[in-house]
Structure 1
Amino acid sequence: MNLTLFTDYSLRTLIYLGSLEGQQKASVEQIAKAYGISHHHLVRVGQRLAKLGLIKTLRGRNGGIELAKEPADISIGWLVRELEDNMNLVDCFSGEQMCAIQGACGLQGMLAAALHAYLQVLDRYTLADVIRNRSAIAKLFADASEWPS
């Protein structure tokens, strides 16, 4: 299963923000430059993360974005479920008759079980687990000269 680019960018944004020390904020531009990804896409990501209550956006001279929750309170499994529009691994998951052997084939059940297991594993982790090595992540961003000073 591939996560969409939107989910990938959302996770990257949260990792970046979670790696900041203290109450530091970052701009979408800083995050886009740090990862070498589209500023435009990250604006949309930021809007969705704010709507989900995961980040706060602050305008003005000292503005930027910051986490709205503690990293330990941001479940990776929950986030993937919220951001992924289509978790159908194969066409027969849609409920429509898409395959000549649908209903008799055991593949749909196997893939459904695999997807369930995948999400159960992600449910065991939070953003805090992802950024456990926060200082190493911060050093990599600093080495890229994109870390906020």
Structure 2
Amino acid sequence: MKLNLSTDYALRVLIFLGSKPDELHSIETLSRTYNLPQSSLMKVVSELVRHGYVSSTRGRAGGIRLGKDPSDINIGDVVRAMDENLDIIDCTNCILDQRCRLKGVLSEATAAFLNVLSSYSLANLISTKDDFLVLFALPETPQHLTQK
């Protein structure tokens, strides 16, 4: 099973925010950290805010941070919220649909996949957050680029 890009990005955003919980972060910082398009991250963050996983503050001093404690963010729930279609295959137009047992087997496999994800929280994923901090360290922006 392969998760969609929005789900992948959502999990990356949550790991980043969970690793640096005491700070507000910009989407630009996330984009630079992961080398991902800002427009895609904006859509993902908007969905995460809608589901309450992330909180946002508007304005000049604004940014985003986790909206819940990491132990209250269930990975299976995040995947279900972000991935609209978790079907492994599309059986809707198959002539075998009424008699085929494969659909049930694949449905069971999907349920098992989600059950495993549901046994983890964001806190489990960031339990070694000091390791992430090294990976998330961005080079300083040269001073001549920050002066106006």
> TM-score, normalized by length of structure 1?
0.89
Counterpart-to-counterpart distance in 2, 1:61 and 1:100? 57
Whether 1:109 and 2:104 are equivalent positions in the alignment is yes
Which stretches of structure 1, 4 residues or longer, exceed 2 Å deviation after superposition?
A: 59-62
In structure 1, the residue matched to 2:5 is 5
Whether 1:36 and 2:31 are equivalent positions in the alignment is no
In structure 1, the residue matched to 2:122 is 127
Q: Superposition pairs for residues 68-87 of structure 1, below 5 Å? A: 68-87=67-86
Give 1:68 shift: 1.0
In structure 1, the residue matched to 2:144 is none
Deviation digits for residues 44-72 of structure 1 (CA, Å, limit 9, x no counterpart): 11111111111111123321101110000
Counterpart-to-counterpart distance in 2, 1:50 and 1:101? 41
Counterpart-to-counterpart distance in 2, 1:31 and 1:71? 18
| Structure 1: stretches of 5+ with no match in the other structure | none
In structure 1, the residue matched to 2:25 is 26
| Structure 2 SS opposite 1:91 | coil
Percent identical pairs in the alignment equals 40
Q: Which of 128, 139, 145 is residue 145 of structure 1 equivalent to? A: 139
Counterpart-to-counterpart distance in 1, 2:4 and 2:115? 19
Q: RMSD in angstroms over aligned alpha carbons?
A: 1.3
The one-letter code matched in structure 2 to 1:57 is S
Q: Larger deviation: 120-129 or 83-92?
A: 83-92
Counterpart-to-counterpart distance in 2, 1:50 and 1:32? 17
> TM-score, normalized by length of structure 2?
0.89
